[in-house]
Chain A
């Protein structure tokens, strides 16, 4: 495995209400469980995905393009998980969860 692997992907926010606190919390949990650095950039602003304070500053409504970058082992899987959460799907690619909705 190559620990210096960097994976970067541009992702469009597809959630109807944008990237609100609930999906951001899920992204934050994924990032915190990942060994390497994870960032999400919107234009000039770069959020450390391990910090909720940073993530909440993304102000990403539906249609916003964000650049997600992770470094380390399984960086691609991490970024793909974040992409799924930004589209409203579970991070693990499984079937959609219960309809209970948090803002």
Chain B
């Protein structure tokens, strides 16, 4: 009994720790969860230091009076989360940010957008996303998916009914929530007034085409008051130097656009396009200096054209855009969109709009006794809901969640895969689900499968969503930071069946003799794989067949046929007998090679003659090794090749491949020795091998390949030393210098399957120039990505 009490106490304590953590806010069925552990990050880099890096300080630059995370109200000591929830057609990508002070956070938010009250939460909203917050957490939501149909697939039905009620009460204008909606976009917050924009940068058009167009408009619309010759009647004379409302291009443009209220001049905004007003303005300016009969007396003030600034008339499109951006108050993505908008507008004005691509909707045809006819597209009236309203509903759902049992803190797959030592982690529940999302196939209607090829695809993806079709149940990525190494591992959890095949395939070790043919200290890098060829060739079709049968159970026979076809292509025994399945490719040096190219020389009369010139190009020197038990077979093949002129026998056991047909300046030598097939790019290396020269076994590298079936290794020092520096630009030299002093080497390895988990790890070793790996990375960003 005591034991039971103790257990439940532990249970309760652990629950309360989860409750404090923001994990308890994440819906249990989210498909992706990422976490950044603030406390762990701060162990590596203190808060003040973190804030001093360029990328972080740039963040603060956006806000006045804020120079730290504290000022923004953000609590760096807790965990930050990112998660993705997917419904039938709308996805939400969210960030949970722990808050220290909601007041400070609000102040920061208010400097971006107007703060609104949504139910019990405060928030700011933009077109695509919103941030809502309470006392302890801020939630940033960004929705994706362009569908016209969705439902609240992820919210359980009780909650959904509750939310529907709340929303209906709170927002009278919101349409009732039903099963389907039409998603309507709100107008752009950066919608700009084209007339106002053009007014600021308008120039006089001086080509015939535009002036004729301006003349036509003038005669049609303006001549009634100003006369055809511009001499003036009800309106003033346009041929003299006196103007009532300004005589500059912009001022005339303004007057035509907006009119003069209370006087006779009307606004032409609604009847003429910006371009047309520009044409008329240009024409009017052109009237200056003409001498019409019976011209009206000058009115207004003298405008001296000779003192006019020519700046805008000469400005390029880029300069005009820059000028317009000067007093733009927008920030961030809105600012970029605004810039793009005005740029496009000005481009269209100058060159005419790009032809729009009209997509023709494919209509379904139906076969009947009387032949086929085209079905009219189905039109369904749908109630409308905006993205903004959707995001509000989801935001409230997440922030108000008080039930830990319904949160990620109770998701077994997530808990099983997380790693306490990781500084940051990412996890995704179902590969198939994400895959379907990427293909956008969730957006397809569910009232019936479309016909033909697309229909087939659709069925397949619908099934993939629900089954662990690719054999991967979950994917987890963890980032570890230690003193001089940063490691990132990716764990793929496989289904039992898939794990079985994978295990068989990975039953192959690296040949230990490989490590005696290169200098482990000087090597620049290598790439190697070890798979059991026979098992792979045997297992792969089975794997595919298993996947196919899950996707299309009704088409078992077709699936079997496909499998057999693959088996025929990869005849297990034939290939399996030739090579063992372990191979390594080692890059040992970079040398300069001469390459020929064609250029021209010109005589006194500029008649061209083709001449061959040479230049040097750096080329890597490499050695490829493959284990085989069948050297005798390869010897026979070499002899046969020699007979047909494809191969030259250089000396005993050393062959040269004729690569003239290839356009690469490359030579390849083959050596057959010690049950290894060697392919080398340099003769001396191949000769050494043929003569039986071996180096000391490189234990360091042999260890790296233990329990792995794939490895990529790059030795930073050796690579940089081999790079011909005089071929680099000054900026590249700066990059190389930083890498040289901060990073030592890099490895990507794929481990043999263990407990149904396939692990891939990327490790980067730093030299210790920065205090630790994280600082080296931040330093790198500062060095290279400062704009």
Do A and B originate from a single complex?
no
- Give A residues with C-beta under 8 Å from B: none
- Give B residues with C-beta under 8 Å from A: none
